[in-house]
């Protein structure tokens, strides 16, 4: 009887160990899924907040632009310009992205090239949009991606199967780090939002990144605004 129990003890122990491992693995998987769901929920909330904020800013900028344009036309007709009007116009140009700006912020480098033999998912236009929206939600006042200023009309899309266009300009780099994102704003807030909302996504896809606090320069938007249907009231 004792011999039979000894023979049975080893298989039972192995089953118990395997069962414990499976339970532990299931709990860890559930934890990871919950964390991913929480990150996605926070990202969606950030995107909705950014959209609402941008829509409000657009309406306000349209109103200010109309008022300043009328005031500028009046001042010019009188042979001069009001310094206050010029200062306000400069602010509108910054918000619209039509002037180069400089200030404290962060510089982000993202490398989606294959690291050794690890699987790396390349950065997609949607990934870039999510990162930009997160930075906007964090209060970024000006953003550029590989030297292209992000404005309200900016489109980020694929050209072919791999080349990404920003403002209809290819931003793929042949040498160096593939993506450089510069953003001006509160440095601590930008670092916190990017690291917590986007860092986990990048790491999960095998993408490496670095973020530094520094004074950055964001170039002016080099494209042209073309309105086929919109007209000023």
Residue 134's pLDDT is 96
Nearest of 66, 227, 62, 233 to residue 153 by alpha carbon: 227
Residue 66's pLDDT is 72
Q: What angle do CA 161, 154, 226 make, to 5 degrees?
A: 115
Query: For residue 222, is pLDDT > 80?
Result: yes
Q: pTM for the complete prediction? A: 0.65
Residue 45's pLDDT is 72
pLDDT tens, 71-124?
Answer: 766 765 655 566 776 676 666 666 667 789 999 999 999 998 877 666 678 899
CB 26 within 8 A of CB 34: no
Neighbours of 89 (CB within 10 A): 19
Domain map (residue ranges) of the chain: 102-223
pLDDT tens, 177-215?
Answer: 899 999 999 999 999 999 999 998 898 888 999 999 999
Q: How many angstroms separate the Cα of 30 from the Cα of each of 24, 35, 36, 51?
A: 10, 9, 10, 31
**Rounded average pLDDT over 34-40:** 66
Per CATH, which fold does 102-223 belong to? Answer: Alpha-Beta Plaits (3.30.70)
Out of 20-24, 106-110, 165-169, the most confident range is 106-110
HSE-up (13 A, CA, CB side) for residue 32? 9
Residue 172's pLDDT is 83
């Amino acid at each position: 009887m004792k011999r039979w129990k000894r023979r049975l003890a080893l298989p039972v122990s192995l089953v118990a160990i395997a069962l414990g491992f499976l339970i532990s693995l299931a709990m860890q998987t559930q934890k990871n899924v919950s964390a991913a769901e929480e990150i996605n929920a926070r990202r969606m909330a950030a995107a909705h907040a950014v959209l609402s904020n941008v829509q409000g800013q657009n309406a306000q900028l349209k109103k200010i632009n109309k008022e300043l344009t009328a005031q500028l036309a009046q001042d010019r007709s009188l042979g001069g310009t009001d310094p206050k009007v010029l200062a306000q116009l400069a602010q509108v140009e910054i918000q619209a992205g039509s002037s180069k700006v400089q200030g404290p912020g962060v510089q982000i480098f993202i490398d989606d090239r294959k690291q050794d033999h690890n699987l790396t998912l390349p950065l997609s236009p949607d990934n870039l949009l999510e990162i930009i929206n997160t930075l906007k939600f964090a209060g970024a006042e000006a953003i550029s991606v590989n030297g292209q200023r992000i404005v309200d009309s900016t489109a980020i899309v694929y050209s072919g199967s791999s080349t990404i266009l920003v403002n209809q300009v290819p931003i793929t780099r042949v040498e160096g780090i593939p993506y450089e994102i510069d953003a001006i704003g509160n440095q601590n807030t930008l670092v916190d939002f990017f690291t917590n909302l986007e860092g986990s996504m990048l790491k999960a896809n095998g993408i490496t990144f670095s973020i530094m606090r520094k004074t950055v320069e964001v170039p002016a938007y080099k494209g042209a605004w073309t309105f086929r249907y919109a007209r000023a009231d």
